[in-house]
């Protein structure tokens, strides 16, 4: 059973099997320590985020910090003989996430989530000066600094070429990480434009041509119909240029 958002203590007692109040405080303290050990043990078995060869950080390994939050102190869990820690489906060790804990053997089966924050420090672009909506970014407006790459759902920009000439859509202070959502996407071509298509794979590159079936907006998949009628989805990377990675 999943925990509810800020439930009334009495409801928690009824749902999870509240122990007698006199012994409950001591049991909760020791129980929390045991659960935390379970969470820590699971995290030690996981592969932490690492810079890949394609992100420009291969010479600068990421520095990862994992911080455990706390369960709701009002939460009183029924005794359990066997607790299992697990990563929920689709959970990633990136930014704000959680580790699941479920009672697999006990008088009351329960399931709770322990909050976890994973900070991933790496090199990316930061504003060198305050940038305001409507500003066009020049090369002198950004510098490389260490930022928490996982602090936002929007990817941090790492290459100067990805931002110079683009328009700022959100205010940025000096020293603040520049994210993909902070600047306006570029449209490299329109529907119906002829485009060049580079298909990349391990150890090979095939160049072809086609026609855009959707706008070539930066960061979005564009559908391209090739001369043989086949339709591929690729990333717009330049003026009438699309790349597909196999």
User: Strands 222-226 and 95-105, how do they pair?
Assistant: unpaired
Sequence spans of domains, the chain? 9-120, 123-182, 194-245
d(CA 16, CA 10): 10
**Residue 2 contacts residue 64 (beta carbons within 8 Å):** no
**pLDDT tens-digit series, residues 107-122:** 999 999 999 999 999 9
d(CA 221, CA 224): 10
pLDDT at 2: 45
Topology classification of domain 194-245: SH3 type barrels. (2.30.30)
- Rounded to the nearest integer, the mean pLDDT of the chain is 84
**pLDDT tens-digit series, residues 76-95:** 899 999 999 999 998 899 99
pLDDT at 217: 86
pLDDT at residue 15 above 50?
Answer: no
pLDDT at residue 213 above 90?
Answer: yes
CATH class entry, domain 123-182: alpha beta
Q: What is the largest CA-CA distance in the chain?
A: 77
> Can you read off the two tokens belonging to residue 44?
């030690």
């Amino acid at each position: 059973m999943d925990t509810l958002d800020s439930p009334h203590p009495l409801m928690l007692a009824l749902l999870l099997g509240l122990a007698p109040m006199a012994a409950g405080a001591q049991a909760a303290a020791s129980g929390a320590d045991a659960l935390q050990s379970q969470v820590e043990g699971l995290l030690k078995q996981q592969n932490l985020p690492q810079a890949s060869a394609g992100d420009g950080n291969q010479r600068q390994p990421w520095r990862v910090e994992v911080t455990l939050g706390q369960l709701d102190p009002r939460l009183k869990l029924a005794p359990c003989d066997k607790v299992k820690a697990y990563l929920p489906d689709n959970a990633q060790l990136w930014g704000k996430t959680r580790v699941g804990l479920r009672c697999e053997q006990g008088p009351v089966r329960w399931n709770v989530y322990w909050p976890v924050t994973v900070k991933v420090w790496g090199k990316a672009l930061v504003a060198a000066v305050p940038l305001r909506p409507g500003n066009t970014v020049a090369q002198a407006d950004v510098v490389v600094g260490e930022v928490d790459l996982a602090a936002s759902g929007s990817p941090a920009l790492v290459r100067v070429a990805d931002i110079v000439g683009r328009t700022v859509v959100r205010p940025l202070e000096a020293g603040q990480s520049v994210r993909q959502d902070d600047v306006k996407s570029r449209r490299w071509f329109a529907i119906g434009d002829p485009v060049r298509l580079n298909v990349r794979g391990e150890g090979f590159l095939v160049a072809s041509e086609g026609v855009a079936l959707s706008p070539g907006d930066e960061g979005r998949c564009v559908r391209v119909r090739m001369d043989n009628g086949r339709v591929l989805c690729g990333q717009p990377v330049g003026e009438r240029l699309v790349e597909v990675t196999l």
